[in-house]
A and B are shown apart, each in its own frame.
Chain A
Amino acid sequence: MAKVVKIALAGEGGQGVQSVAEIITEAANEEGKEALYIPNFGVEQRGGVSIAFVQISDKEKVGSPKFEKADIVIALSDRAVRRCAQYVDGNTVFVYDTFIEGVEDDLPKGAKKVIGIPAIETAKNELHPRVFNIIIMGAVVRATHVVSEERAKQALEDKLGYKFEQDPKLRELNHRALARGMQLVEGHL
């Protein structure tokens, strides 16, 4: 990976891409890295494609908040797949959810790799729909190595610890979702 890892996470409003970006960048910051995260949104409160631009660097402060091409793009809806084509070049790993229908022709042709993962299905059938974004977080963590699994778990604790206290099963569910997300991309890299 390049010195600055550039990630574009895109989905429909409500899929939780912004919280994933927030948790990952906070984890990277805690690890002493320089992280920059900016959400991109339109005037609508709901119903738009929501994109999180994330950049993580080992030491140096990150430059401009937006970038032209990403190292990894994760697109979680049909509109997100189309909207994110512009961030893909020959160095980009493009991850999309296999549950999305009708985007076969829109998947980027020039990407380094295009990976389909069944995150939505896994969340629904194996775990719980509410941890869908944590599965995605696991996929990002494994695909980029911007933070360690341990640090990612700590970041979850920081963010959701108060909920885990009330219901310890939630902690276990989130950890499983994280591990499952990591597994989903494992074989493709």
Chain B
Amino acid sequence: MADKPIQGEKRMFMTGNEVCAYAALAAGADIMYGYPITPQNEIMHYWTRLAPKHNRTFLQTEDEISAGFTTCGGVLSGKRAFTATAGPGNTLMQEPMSMAEMMRIPAVFIIQQRGGPSTATVIYSQQEVTMTCYGANGEGLRIVYSTADHQELYDYTIKSFNTAWKYRFPTFVLGDGYQAKMRESLTIYDPELRGIQMVDTYPLVGLPGKAGADRDPAHLRNTYNTEEELYEVVKELVGAYEKFAPEIVEHKTVECDDAEVVILCHGIVSRAAVEAIRELRAEGVKAGMFRPITLRPFPTEPLRAVVQKAKKLLIVESAEGQFARLVLPSLYGLTTPLETIYKPGQGITSDEIVKKIKAMA
């Protein structure tokens, strides 16, 4: 095992991509597999700069399909492996991601969303929500953390390795182009100092002894012959996912106790929402925010508790309803009036939210 690259605590001022590379290093990641695409390129660049100094490795593959599969391969061999991608790369990587769901491969994927569809913009969006949560064939048995700032990028990149290896489901850190490229302050730290013990990794294949004689076979399968066989396997996977979900879900609320209008948002948009709430509260408008940190699994129960007390809801996202499609099933049966701000591929400011909420009053 490699040395301790991050000692103690340190205030830093850097880009989100740099943060991810440092966090992976602090988490004890052994190897990154990657293929360049904006806006996540610098995760690779920083990793390739940092990794050799700390006995870690990097492999650049020929495309994202390959980056995803090699990441799965690295994990199967017992390495704490990860990759990062965005946009069209995320699209290409769906195939290995769905294999990771089926075989419960604890791979870590960092996604820095850009605008879509297709090549679109290289800057920013929240338009990879549906794809990251439910892309590929299958049921979307993934864990997806949506981060809002650099501190969270650091915290959740570290955490994603533990979540992945503890529950053995592919785990995602869903950032975006703004988070990737902007610079702001954060505190980096040695996880152990904060009582975070990294979950041990282990090989899933090539185990010692003779399969069937000395030990059970690893029996990692991705292909099934009959409907019944597949049904049983998927039901088992879903069962495991649902069993762990209550331990995994995370959310954040701001001023929800007496809120009449509750803003529902995720990721970086929540920063504009928090600012809007500050302004609105100063003017006597009772606004609050509910923000899922895990988009998969989704924090349905706490959301319902908040929504039941509110008079109005406002969904705000930099996409055309992708986040709303995650939210709405959780609100089934409730009749709280709901409005939206949808801005696909565009940033959202507090001013817009303030204006909208005043208009809703």
Chain A residues with CB under 8 Å of chain B are: 22, 25-26, 29-30, 34-43, 61-68
Q: Other than the known A30-B13, A64-B275, what 14 A-B pairs have Cβ atoms closer than 8 Å? A: A26-B183, A29-B185, A34-B184, A35-B183, A35-B185, A39-B181, A41-B122, A43-B119, A62-B271, A63-B275, A63-B349, A63-B350, A64-B349, A66-B347
Contacts of B13 in A (CB 8 A): 25-26, 29-30, 35
A25-B13, A29-B185, A68-B349 are contacts. A43–B122 as well, Cβ < 8 Å? yes
Q: How many A-B residue pairs have CB under 8 A?
A: 65
Q: How large is the interface on B (under 10, 10 to 19, 20 to 34, 35 or more residues)?
A: 20 to 34
- The contact string, 1 if C-beta is below 8 Å from chain A, for chain B 263-284, is 0000011011011000000000
Q: 19 pairs across A/B with beta carbons < 8 Å?
A: A22-B183, A25-B13, A25-B183, A26-B13, A29-B13, A35-B13, A36-B184, A38-B182, A38-B183, A40-B123, A41-B123, A42-B121, A61-B271, A62-B271, A64-B348, A65-B178, A65-B182, A65-B347, A68-B351
B155 on interface, CB distance cutoff 8 Å: no
What are the residues of chain A within 8 A of B119 when measuring CB–CB? 43
Residues of A within 8 A of B348 (CB): 64
Which chain B residues (270-319) contact chain A, with CB distance < 8 Å?
271-272, 274-275
Closest to B276 in A: A63
- Residues of A contacting B271 in the complex (Cβ-Cβ under 8 angstroms): 61-64
Q: Does B128 contact A (CB under 8 A)?
A: no
B180 nearest CB neighbor, chain A only: A38
Residue of B whose beta carbon sits closest to that of A54: B183
- Interface residue? B149 (CB, 8 A): yes
Q: Which of A39, A43, A63, A66 has the most CB of B within 10 A?
A: A63
For the complex, what is the distance from the CA of A149 to the CA of B290, rounded to whole Å? 42
**A110: min CB distance to chain B, Å:** 17
| A25: chain B residues within 8 A (beta carbon) | 13, 183
B19: min CB distance to chain A, Å: 13
**Docked-complex contact B349 and A37, CB < 8 angstroms:** no
B349 touches A66 (CB 8 A): yes
Main secondary structure of the interface of B (DSSP, over half): mixed
| A64, B269: Cα distance in complex, Å | 7
Please, which residue of chain A has its CB at the minimum distance from the CB of B120? Answer: A43
Bound CA–CA A64/B116 (angstroms): 21
Contacts A29-B13, A63-B274, A64-B268 given; indicate if A35 touches B347 (C-beta within 8 A). Answer: no
Within 8 A of A (CB), among B337-361: 347-352
Most buried by B among A29, A35, A38: A38
Give the one of B122, B349, B352 with max A CB within 10 A.
Answer: B349
CA distance in complex: A62, B123 (Å) = 19
Residues of A within 8 A of B181 (CB): 38-39
B193 to chain A, nearest CB (A): 23
Inter-chain contacts of B178 with A (CB < 8 A): 38, 64-66
| A35 / chain B contacts, CB cutoff of 8 Å | 13, 183-185
A66-B349, A68-B349 known; A37+B182 contact, CB < 8 A: yes
Tell me which of A30, A42, A62, A67 contacts B184 (CB under 8 A): A62
B residues in contact with A37, CB < 8 Å: 182-184
Q: Assess the A65–B268 pair: CB atoms within 8 A.
A: yes
- Chain A residues whose CB sits within 8 angstroms of the CB of B274 once the complex forms: 63
CA distance in complex: A30, B185 (Å): 10
Q: Which of A26, A37, A42, A65 is the most central at the interface, judged by chain B CB atoms within 10 Å of its CB?
A: A65
Would you give the shortest CB distance from B167 to chain A, in whole angstroms? 31
Nearest chain A residue, comparing its CB with the CB of B11: A29
Inter-chain contacts of A67 with B (CB < 8 A): 349
Complex CA gap A42/B38 in Å reads: 11
Q: Which of B182, B269, B272, B348 has the most CB of A within 10 A?
A: B182
**Chain B residues positioned under 8 Å from A42 (CB to CB):** 121-122
A39 CB contacts on chain B under 8 angstroms: 181
